[in-house]
């Protein structure tokens, strides 16, 4: 499990579950929630704390979009759901977009790997 510190475990867990097509499988009275989703190799945990660590998170999720989806449409979908688009990054042949969830946790959505496109 990968666990995020947050001031609102229930809300941010529900947001991630909806975005990933998963479900909240544990909700311990709003102080700890767990999310599972199809294709997600680990569960996501959200733990309520009084004082989140300021600044950029040191750990972030790297997600990939499938080769049959439009990059701009995928990013727009996440932004419309409450994410903040922080920018496009990368090098020739491999690019990704960095976003932040409504709680400020950064994550990336990468272009498909070249071998993924051929599959």
Q: pLDDT tier at 116 (50, 70, 90 boundaries)?
A: very low
Average pLDDT of 48-73? 86
pLDDT of residue 75: 97
Q: Which helix (H) or strand (E) holds 78?
A: helix 71-80
Give the residue, 95 or 36, on which the prediction is more confident. 36
**pTM for the whole structure:** 0.79
Average pLDDT of 12-22? 97
Name the residue among 20, 51, 12 with its Cα closest to residue 36: 20
The percent of residues in the chain predicted with pLDDT above 70, rounded, is 95
Contacts of 96 (CB under 8 A, 6+ apart): 62, 88, 89, 90, 108, 109, 110, 111
Cα torsion for 87, 111, 19, 106, to the nearest 10°? -40
CA 5 – CA 14 distance, rounded (Å)? 15
Q: pLDDT tier at 115 (50, 70, 90 boundaries)?
A: low
């Amino acid at each position: 499990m990968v666990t995020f510190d947050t001031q609102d475990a229930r809300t941010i867990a529900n947001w991630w579950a909806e975005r990933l097509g998963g479900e909240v499988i544990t909700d311990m009275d709003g102080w700890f929630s767990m999310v599972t989703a199809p294709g997600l190799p680990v569960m996501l945990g959200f733990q309520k704390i009084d004082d989140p660590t300021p600044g950029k998170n040191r750990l972030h999720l790297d997600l990939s979009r499938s080769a049959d989806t439009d990059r701009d449409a995928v990013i727009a979908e996440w932004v419309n759901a409450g994410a903040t688009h922080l920018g496009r990054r990368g090098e020739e042949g491999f690019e990704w977009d960095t976003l932040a969830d409504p709680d400020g946790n950064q994550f990336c959505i990468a272009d498909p790997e070249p071998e993924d496109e051929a599959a």
